[in-house]
Amino acid sequence: MRETFKIGGETPLIGCIAFGLIDRGTNLIQVRPSSSCPLSCIFCSTDAGPNSRNRQTEYLVELEPLLEAFKALAAFKGGRVEAHIDTVGDPLTYPKIVELVEALSSLPEVSVVSMQTKGFLLTERLAEELAEAGLSRLNLSIDAVDSALAVKLAGTPAYRVEKILGLAEHVAGSTKADLLIAPVWLPGVNDEEIPKIVEFALKIGAGKRWPPLGIQRYEAHKRGRRPPNVKPVSWKTFYRWLSRLEAEYQVKLKLTRRDFNIERRPMLPIPYQVGQKVSVRIVGPGWLKGEHLAVTRDGLRSLTVVRLPHPPESGELKVRILKNEHNILLAEPLLPQRL
């Protein structure tokens, strides 16, 4: 069992990829209230679930600080914001997921609340509660309809795709929320399953306000899981394959930001540049092994510190910023002679 570290109001909710908020320069704000996942999908890009080899900590963010941080960022963004709940695990592990959806949907700046999930923890009642709370769209990841293959891909014997398919039909036909089915194409593994998933999505009436499907290209991430003998195809090959499916089923599968009304917006300024020396305080364990969670002394950002075997007793140290893309900060400690 990995440690669950609770994130409260004293920890900035911008700066760490595993929790809080992420702004990538559009009107969509990623919301990450929890990092946990009950599944161990064999192709998981974030190495989530019980079978993780790289994770040492799971994060759980308190609701009120998360909402306050979101309000501030949404105000900066302006109107017509999409709150997209897409964790490095599964959002349904968050104990207050219904309350989070309801609070986000009530904000005047928010026009869409969407969520990405594998659906393992979903029930008909929870789906209805989420829809009533204001969930606009559920992005449901289904990667195979064949029972045995679905279990293999989920990495969890308890996974039952028949249940997930029934829930998908319930969401599409009996709730206010729209449904988008989002399979990952694993070349040579679930090739024959993707057309079946397309047929299923069209049959149950997914995609009333948005596209019914969002097929994803498999990518081999550095610390993600890589199924044996599965290699990512080029984007050219991927789009050529989608074009054939589009022609066969007469449905749009090559999606763009315009399909979701996503537009460029100013990104929250990044206060620290790559190479800059910053004073920080270690506040908890890092998400992955060999990492530590820190907060900048000025309290503006959280960040991940790598290459630090043992933090100083005071927890205070100086670091050098290694990465700062989209305000996701990675840093390493300065050697003593550099202080």
Region 302-316: mean pLDDT is 93
CA 115 to chain centre: 9
CB 78 within 8 A of CB 29: no
Write down the pLDDT at residue 44: 96
Mean pLDDT of 133-158: 98
- Residue 267 placed within a domain: no
**Per the domain annotation, does 265 fall within a domain?**
no
One domain for residues 134 and 18: yes
Listed in sequence order, the DSSP H helices in 179-234 are 193-204
The verdict on 283 and 231 lying in the same domain is no
> Does a structural domain hold residue 206?
yes
Query: Does 164 score more than 60 pLDDT?
Result: yes
Q: Do 106 and 59 share a structural domain?
A: yes
| 256 and 282, same domain (yes or no) | no
DSSP letter, residue 300: S
Cβ burial 202-233 (10 Å sphere, 16+ → b, else e): bebebbeebbbbbbebbeeeeebbbbeeeeee
Q: What local confidence, expressed as pLDDT, does residue 336 receive?
A: 56
3-state percent breakdown (helix, strand, coil) of the chain, nearest 5: 30, 25, 45
Say how many domains are in the chain: 2
Domain that holds residue 130: 3-260
Query: Of 195, 230, 260, which marks where a domain is finished?
Result: 260
pLDDT for residue 20: 98
Question: What is the reported pLDDT for 335?
Answer: 72
DSSP state letter for 235: H
pLDDT for 26 beyond 80 = yes
CATH of the domain at 166: 3.20.20.70
Nearest to 198 by CA among 218, 217, 213, 180: 213
**Are 190 and 321 part of one and the same domain?**
no
What is the rounded average pLDDT of the residues 55-77?
98
State whether 114 and 148 are in the same domain. yes
Q: Find the mean pLDDT for residues 41-50.
A: 96
Give the pLDDT score at 1. Answer: 66
The verdict on residue 269 lying in a domain is: no
Q: Span 215-233, mean pLDDT?
A: 94
Percent of the chain with pLDDT over 70: 99
pTM of the model: 0.95
Choosing from 260, 291, 323, the residue where a domain stops is 260
Buried b (16+ CB within 10 A) or exposed e, 186-201: bbebbeebbeebbebb
Does residue 179 contact residue 142 with C-beta atoms inside 8 Å? no
Q: What is the CATH number of the domain that holds 319?
A: 2.40.50
Q: CB-side exposure of 155: number of CA atoms within 13 Å?
A: 18
Which of 201, 229, 260 finishes a domain? 260
Same domain (yes/no): 171, 251: yes
Let me know if residue 266 belongs to a domain.
no
163 and 221: one domain? yes
- Same domain, yes or no, for 178 and 284? no
Residues 286 and 253 in one domain: no
Chain-wide mean pLDDT for the chain?
96
pLDDT tens-digit map of 247-301: 999 999 999 999 999 999 999 999 999 999 999 999 999 999 999 999 999 999 9
Dist. CA 331–CA 242, nearest whole Å: 39
pLDDT at 2: 85
In a domain, 272, yes or no: no
Asked if 181 and 247 sit in the same domain, the reply is yes
Taken as a whole, the chain contains a residue count of: 339
- Pair (162, 297) in one structural domain: no
Q: What is the pLDDT of residue 337?
A: 35
Between 124-133 and 97-105, two packed helices, what is the crossing angle to 10 degrees? Answer: 20
For residue 55, the 8-state DSSP code is B
Partners of 296 in beta bridges: 280
pLDDT tens, residue by residue, 186-222: 999 999 999 999 999 999 999 999 999 999 999 999 8
pLDDT given at position 339: 37
Band (pLDDT 50/70/90 cuts) for residue 124 is very high
pLDDT single digits (tens) 165-190: 999 999 999 999 999 999 999 999 99
Q: Could you give the CA distance from residue 135 to residue 138 in angstroms, rounded to a whole number?
A: 7
Instruction: Name the band, by pLDDT with cuts 50, 70 and 90, for residue 155.
Output: very high
